[in-house]
A and B are shown apart, each in its own frame.
Chain A
Amino acid sequence: MPVSPPEAPQQDLPAPTSVQDVSAGLRAVGYLPGESTALVSYLATKLGKPVLVEGPAGVGKTELAKALARYLGRELVRLQCYEGLDEAKALYEWNYRKQLLRIQAEAADTGWSAVQEDIFGEEFLLARPLMTAIASEQPVVLLIDEIDKTDQEFEAMLLEVLSDFQISIPELGRVQSRTHPIVLLTSNNSRELTEALKRRCLYLWLDYPELEHELEIVRLHAPNLDKTVARRLVEVIGMVRALDLKKPPSIAESIDWARALLLLGAQDIDAETFNETMSVIVKHRSDMDVVAERVGLKLGSPADVA
């Protein structure tokens, strides 16, 4: 059933030939993929199937799309979803104002049919992200961000785009994709997506990374941070995540924290530094109490020793 698209014609792009290629390529543009991330990205480039990326907020779902675009040298087209997003904002819209102007500018004796032919042309079409991605001359990376924020109707509308890479416009006919975009859909898991949509996608679950992996990421983004401090930081973040919090700290927050510590010139993470900078990683009043109580106290003892 999934229509495999015609062979992508572009030969000049660096088409990855193995999982290791993709992994190395993503690393080169500053994104450290986990094993499954690299594999699924590779399959996406190879098979041209959309990828549904799920996981907690801030584990690099959106970043993955950006990195893929950078690595493949493609343009990134982003569609940010929100409740109430409709076709006019996602696919295309007729430029009413321009059409009105066109009609008003028309001499009185032009026939209706001539005007009608004219105002429903491509000139009066406002392309929105999905349309842009499909109609683009160059292959792009299409990011449909936070798909779980939209309604089910919108998901259904996406199906045509995702499986056949075409859009039907009643007045113009069908717009077929000229090139094959790589599509990433991200979801924060706030609701169950429809089976129909899931069926068309490869599935990638991104979770908080393992300790070593996160350490690598932190060191990549804050290279000047002392090695032992970085390790300590990642360990503390791990401890904080293990607590039952409203919003556990994400990777983005560990990086922010690393940068904050760097600015402060911290030599070690003791209870005092932790309490002062905790607000970088914990963003809820009640969470802060819990964290200060459970983690802050534990940190106290090594500081006394040091």
Chain B
Amino acid sequence: MSPEPGPAPQGAPGAPEGMPARILELGEELRREGVAVGTSELLDAFQVLREISWTSQEDFREALAATLAKSQEDRRIFELVFERFFFRAVELAAAREGVREEDRANLSELTEQELDALRAEIAAALRDGSEGAMRDLARMAIAAFARRQEGSGVIGVDVQRIRRALGLRAEPQPDLPEDDPRHDGLPRDALRRFEALMRRELERSQIERTGNLPPARALGELDRALPSGPLADLAAVHRVVAQLRRRLATQGMQMRGHRRHAHVDVRRTMRASLQTGGVPVELKFRPRRPKRPEIYVLCDVSTSVTSASVFFLSVLHALHDTFRKMRSFVFIERISEVTDIFEHERNFKTVSERIGSDAGVADISGYTDYGRVWSEFLVQVEDDLHPRATVIVLGDARTNGRDPRADIFAQIAARAGRTFWLNPEPRLYWNYGDSVIAAYEEFCKAFECWTTGQLEDFVRALTRPVVAA
């Protein structure tokens, strides 16, 4: 754990004076990934490291985590950074010292039978979840496949290719014999661990080949981008929602702190005065309840933006108790209300399916017609819109050459208090091709929204309690 990761080696590897520098570098790296590591945290880390033995990696990591990462989210980032940081440190030292692993040369070309044996062995290790066996087998698999075909040079691609060649899948594979561990499907997290091990092995051999470290990639955006595939996982929704909930709760507290026009709560003041013999020594105030907004959401569900829309709707519905009232509509060519679906179904996948089938938008041409959508929306909610209502539109504003009818949109915006537009495309692509967002942007506030971070910012802006004047 002690070798030098930096480009400028100072001090012999393993020298105790190298360690503080490493910890500081780790702290620096964590800051780059957005974990708030203060000087006091680093001081604590040093203090803690005096108390534990450094030889146990578990203790070492836990001790650092306890002082540096102070929320679950931070902890997740810490694990990733810690892994990468020390892995790279060790590898670089090995590359510099010229330490090579020769043993992989003696793995000769595998025959088809041997390959089958390897497959079965890996599957068994995955089922039993034994870390050590998995690590060894990951190496063997990589060595075996490196000999059969050229690597693509992109580690992620190679990992997936090897996994497919080994026939490792989480779904049951009923055509395999009963006693094959793959018959009932492999545990998903073991599979993920195995992939991580392969990735690490590939990285190791890459470093060994080039004798240098590949540039460090920020963890950030890749891990935090909005799920884009139809398989978009529930975990992502949960993560965003859990965080938002927490932040929102904090926000309410902050607002409660501002007692500008405090109303005296007579009943509680009288009760409190009993303690002091009827003299109201202590005034009790009515707590301030932040006003909750009323929300109308319109989501484009044409193929280009479906998953972003469904994701966004799920997030909003999971937060529905933050709003006073919430109605959601989806549209492609015409609109249809889906508030009920979200109220009764919490499973992300089912919701997507039901929106596709029941919502009555699937049977039309599939081209968005914004003009028609606006007029239908206006007819449906005209009487309900009022200055305290918020209208949110999620869509890419691509009209397929039809009339954008910005005039009707302007009417909607005029009736509602606030109007927001979320565009799941990066700002760079706005107003190119058939995108007409500029026409609508005059009447609303447009946000780009393609990472969870941006989504979070938006929801935070949306739910910021409106303090009544």
Chain A residues proximal to chain B, CB less than 8 Å? 1-2, 19, 35-36, 39-40, 42-43, 46-47, 49, 52, 54, 96-97, 100, 151-153, 189-192, 195, 198-205, 244
Contacts of A195 in B (CB 8 A): 36
Query: Are B249 and A244 in contact (CB-based, < 8 A)?
Result: no
Which of these, B59, B242, B346, contacts A244 with CB under 8 Å?
A: B346
Q: Give A118 Cβ to nearest chain B Cβ, in Å.
A: 18
Closest to A155 in B: B253
> Which chain B residues border A52 with CB–CB below 8 Å?
70
User: Hey, which chain B residues are within 8 Å of A43, CB to CB?
Assistant: 48, 51-52, 63, 66
The residue from A39, A97, A191, A198 contacting B63, defined by CB atoms under 8 A apart? A39
Other than the given A1-B40, A198-B71, 11 more pairs (CB < 8 A) read: A19-B52, A42-B52, A47-B48, A47-B51, A191-B246, A191-B250, A192-B250, A198-B70, A202-B67, A205-B75, A244-B234
Q: Is the interface of B mostly helix, strand, loop or mixed?
A: helix
Check A100/B277 contact, CB under 8 A, given A19-B52, A36-B62, A191-B246. yes
Interface centre among B70, B238, B250 (most CB of A within 10 A): B70
Residue of B whose beta carbon sits closest to that of A93:
B275
Q: Which residues of the partner chain B approach A191 to less than 8 Å between Cβ atoms?
A: 246, 249-250, 253
The complex places the Cα of A8 from the Cα of B246 at a distance, in Å, of 38
Please name all residues of chain B whose beta carbon is closer than 8 Å to the beta carbon of A198 when the two chains form the complex: 70-71
A-B contact count (CB 8 A): 92
Q: Do residues B254 and A152 form an inter-chain contact, with CB atoms below 8 A?
A: yes
Question: Do A201 and B70 have beta carbons less than 8 Å apart?
Answer: yes
Tally of contact residues, B, Cβ under 8 A: 41
- Cβ of B58 within 8 Å of any chain A Cβ, yes or no, is yes
Those of B58-106 within 8 Å (CB) of chain A: 58-59, 62-63, 65-67, 69-72, 75
Q: CB within 8 A of A96: which of B52, B71, B72, B275?
A: B275
Residue of A nearest to B238 (CB): A244
A7 to B36 Cα, complex, angstroms = 31
CA distance A96 to B282 in the complex (A): 12
State whether A192 and B276 are in contact (beta carbons under 8 Å apart), knowing that A40-B62, A43-B48, A199-B41 are contacts in the complex: no
Interface flags, B41-56, vs A, CB<8A=1, else 0 = 1011001100110000
How many Å from the CB of B45 to the closest CB on chain A? Answer: 10
Contacts of A39 in B (CB 8 A): 52, 59, 62-63, 66
Cα(A49)–Cα(B281), bound, Å: 38
B433 interface hit (Cβ, 8 Å): no
Write the nearest CB–CB distance from B412 to chain A, whole angstroms. 35
Specify which of A42, A49, A54, A199 is in contact with B71 (CB 8 Å cutoff).
Answer: A54
Tell me if B38 counts as interface (CB < 8 A to partner A). Answer: yes
Q: Is the CB of B51 within 8 A of A203?
A: no
B51 and A202 within 8 A (CB): no
Q: A2-B43, A2-B44, A192-B246 are in contact. Are A203 and B52 (CB under 8 A)?
A: no
Complex Cα distance, B47 from A154, in Å, reads: 28
Can you report 7 A-B residue pairs in the complex whose CB atoms are below 8 A from each other? A19-B52, A35-B58, A43-B63, A97-B275, A195-B36, A203-B65, A203-B67
Q: Cβ of B246 and Cβ of A47 under 8 Å apart?
A: no
Which A residues touch B38, using CB under 8 A? 199
B132 at the interface (CB under 8 A from A): no
Task: Determine the chain A residues whose CB is within 8 A of the CB of B70 once the complex forms.
Answer: 52, 198-199, 201, 203
Q: How far is the CA of A19 from the CA of B276 in the complex (A)?
A: 51
